[in-house]
Structures are given as C-alpha cells and as structure tokens.
Amino acid sequence: MAVSTEQIAAVVMECVNERRYGKAELLDEAKRRTAFNFPQKIQVVINTLLGVGAITRGDNDVMIPGDGKFAQSYEGRTSETTTVKELREQIQDLQKDKDKLIEKVKQAVDAAQEGIKKAEERVKAAEEEAKKAGGRIIQVQLKDGNKKIRDVKGVFHPKFERILQLAKRRKIIFLYGPTGCGKTHVCQQLAEALNLPFYFVSCTTGMSEGQLAGRLLPVGKQGTFEYIIGEFVKAYETGGVFLLDEIDAADPNVLLIINSALANNKLAIPNRPKKPYADKHKDFICIAAANTVGTGANRLYSGRNKLDAATLDRFQIGKVYMDYDSNVESQLCPNTELRTQLLSFREKVRSHRMERAVSTRFMIDAYEMMESGWTLQDVEDALFEGWGEDERNKVKGTYTAQPRRR
C-alpha cells in the first residue's frame, strides 16, 4: 500500500507526542502503524523531522517533540535545512533505485523465459524432424567385387553421409567440434556401415611411438620378449577404421609416425623381429578427431598442441566440423522436459561465452539416469557440480550483473 510522505510524518509526530521512543523503536512503531514495508522511506522522514527540529533527542536518547528550531544531526554532523521538497527528492531517489533493481530482475527473468522459449521451439522442430526420419536407413555399396548393397539403419549425425563419402574414397578424415557431440560414435557407425573392424587410440602428452605402433614386452618367466602389435599397425596392415582421438594432444614424435605412414603407404617397425615394416591395407581408413582444428589451446580447451602445416595438409580435404545436432538429441533423449532444460542451459553457456559444455553425451547420460529414477534436480546437481556460484546463476537465469565502479 502506498503511503505519502505527509502521512508518515503525521504518524511519527503522533507517536512522539504519545510517549517516548528510542529511534529504532520509533521506526518500528511508525512502520507498524502505517503498515508500510519500506523502512528506508520512514527513516528519511524521521531524519528530516530531526533536522528541522520538529522532533529532537531528550534524555536517554529518546525522541521528544522539538521546538521547531534546527537541531544537530543525530550522528554528530551539522544538518542542513531540509525542506519538504528535498525530502520528496530523497524519496524519489530511493524509489528510482528500487525501480532499477526491479527492472534488472525483470530483464533477467525475461531473458530466462526467452531462452526456454527458443529451446522449446528447437525441441518441437527436432521432434517433427525425428518423426519424419524415424531412424534413417542408409544404403552403403561396399568396395568388393560383387557390388553388394548393405543397408544400415540408425540415428545418424547430419555429417555422417559426407564422412561416408570420404571414407569410401579412402580419404584421410579430420573430425573436429565441441566435446561430446558424437565424433567417436560416428566413427563406430562408419565401421559398421563399411563392415570393417574399429580401432582407436586416444592421444595423451608423453605418449610413445610404441603405444601407437607396438613394442617388445617380456612374457613368461624365461626372460623372453614378444612383440605386441599396436592398434594403429593392426588397422594399417589388416584394414579397418582407425580413430586417432585427441590428435591435438599428441606429441610431435607420434605425429611423425602417422605422417610417414600416410605418405609412403609403408611403415617402418624396427623393433618387430620377423617383419620390420608394415604395408598399408587397401581398406585402411584413418580418422583424426579433436576439439580444435589444430590451432592449439583456446579458452575452452587447454593443453592442446598446434598442429604443423604438413599434418593439417594431409587432412585438408577431409576436414569435417561436427556440432551438437537437435535431431539426433531428440531421438537419443526423448524426454522433452529434460531436453528443453538442457538446451536452455546450453544457450546460456554459449551466450555468456563460458568455459563449460552441455554436450549430447551428457544429455544421453542424464536421460538414462532419469529412466533409472533420477529427477531433474538430480541432473542439475550433476551438471553444476564444481561450477562457481556466478556460473550457475548465469546459466539458471538468476544472475544480475554488478554495476561497474567509477
């Protein structure tokens, strides 16, 4: 309920004339009598009445009726003449501050609602597209003599057919995109479509040539050694889809082996006793995957190496960017409420340029956990585990930017 300055002043004077109040008691009593839940405004009125001498301090610091003359400020500072006009200006300033705060909150709420609306629209469009697709059937003509046609059915990323075209021509492929968008899964689907075995190695800093190609290891108790072939050489010699994951985390010595094998169609294996080299099989398909396009570390992905021109050139024709796909997500995560919430969070992460991800992989995992009894709150708790308070508030739409200091 709105209460005018004059009404508050009248109530304060009424209280002081009835009995003696301390300043805090006077504020509480005036608040009770006016039923006005804005103590700052009441405080300004009391200070003004003190300043103009309408009330003053008596013994034991209680408020008593004044003599109308100017009094000293209750905090020991010299008070200036305060007119009703000045009082109203102070109240207006307080009201403006309150209005600004309300406007900021309103803007934050509107932004959150807009993000949810956009997410709902994307979910609806994806669901309609998924109904039409219903798990696409892709026909693959294998490179064998009898021209056999192989039908492969499943949920495929939109870039799958381009990757398939490159693979059928045995081109070297470089998949890059955000974490958890399905790069590894696409490679597994490709191997299934081409009826080839799937091999992979995940690169790490300090990874040796032996981990990639193979190495001599002791076996038995007689001090004998056996050459254990690496995944790369298996695929290289016998055919298959080989994924070199996180290639931008690999050491240069590992990349030299890859470059040499791809360039010469032959790979030297000096530590293998019986056959110190490997010939490239006609069905060897090499795919590298990374979160960056070989440009090195950025704000999202640290610890990444910059790939040299020779390495990037080998993959140039086969570069394929993969992003999160709403059609794939709608089929792999059919819980509309969960998907809408996570898409809204992803939109906020991107708009605030945060060093976080809300991936397709997380969405699928969250759906499986909700099928096992988790709630949406459980999913949120898992997503925001380890996040800062400001980060959570930005994504959940409760963040209010702090004003800059002048």
For residue 49, report the phi and psi dihedrals to the nearest 5 degrees.
-65, -35
**H-assigned helices in 19-156:** 23-34, 39-51, 84-133
C-alpha 384/C-alpha 356 separation (Å) is: 10
What's the angle, vertex CA 273, arms to CA 270 and CA 278, rounded to 5?
Answer: 55
C-alpha 2/C-alpha 5 separation (Å) is: 10
Please check whether residue 176 is in contact with residue 292, taking contact to mean a CB–CB distance below 8 angstroms. yes
Question: Which domains, from first to last, does the chain contain?
Answer: 5-82 (1.10.10), 102-131+329-396 (no CATH), 159-321 (3.40.50.300)
Interstrand relation of 224-229 and 214-219 (parallel, antiparallel or unpaired):
antiparallel
Joined together, the tokens standing for residue 45 give 């009125």
Question: Mutual orientation of helices 252-264 and 231-238 as an angle, nearest 10°?
Answer: 10
Please check whether residue 96 is in contact with residue 90, taking contact to mean a CB–CB distance below 8 angstroms. no
Tell me whether residue 48 is exposed, middle or buried, using C-beta atoms within 10 angstroms of its C-beta: 0 to 12, 13 to 18, 19 or more. Answer: buried
Half-sphere exposure of 312 (CA within 13 A, CB side): 12
Q: What is the DSSP string of 141-191?
A: E-SSTT--EEEEES---TTHHHHHHHHHTT--EEEE-STTSSHHHHHHHHH
C-alpha 65/C-alpha 314 separation (Å) is: 92
Paired residues of 209 in beta bridges:
none
**H-assigned helices in 52-83:** none
According to DSSP, residue 295 is labeled: B
Q: How far is CA 83 from CA 8, 69, 86, in A?
A: 15, 13, 5
Which residue's structure tokens are 């004998």?
A: 224
| pLDDT score for 172 | 93
Q: What is the DSSP string of 316-354?
A: GGGEEE----HHHHHHH---HHHHHHHHHHHHHHHHTT-
Joined together, the tokens standing for residue 268 give 């030297």
C-alpha 337/C-alpha 126 separation (Å) is: 14
C-alpha 36/C-alpha 305 separation (Å) is: 64
- Give the alpha-carbon dihedral of 213, 219, 225, 228, to 10 degrees: -10
| pLDDT score for 360 | 92
Q: How far is CA 310 from CA 174, 245, 315, 316, in A?
A: 14, 18, 9, 10
Joined together, the tokens standing for residue 111 give 């932004």
| pLDDT score for 121 | 73
Joined together, the tokens standing for residue 279 give 């010939």
pLDDT tens string for the chain (406 positions)?
A: 567 777 888 888 888 888 888 878 888 888 888 887 777 778 888 888 777 777 888 777 778 887 654 333 333 333 444 455 666 666 677 667 666 766 766 676 667 667 667 766 766 665 565 555 445 556 565 555 555 556 777 788 999 999 999 999 999 999 999 999 999 999 999 999 999 999 999 888 778 888 888 887 887 667 777 888 889 999 999 999 999 999 888 888 888 888 889 888 898 887 787 888 899 999 999 999 998 887 777 777 777 778 888 888 888 899 999 999 988 898 889 999 999 999 999 999 988 888 888 999 999 999 999 999 999 999 999 999 999 988 888 888 754 445 544 4
Paired residues of 288 in beta bridges:
174, 244
Task: Spell out the residues 6+ positions from residue 394 whose beta carbon is closer than 8 angstroms to its own.
Answer: 348, 352, 354
Interstrand relation of 198-202 and 21-22 (parallel, antiparallel or unpaired):
unpaired
Which residue's structure tokens are 């934050």?
A: 108
Please check whether residue 305 is in contact with residue 250, taking contact to mean a CB–CB distance below 8 angstroms. yes
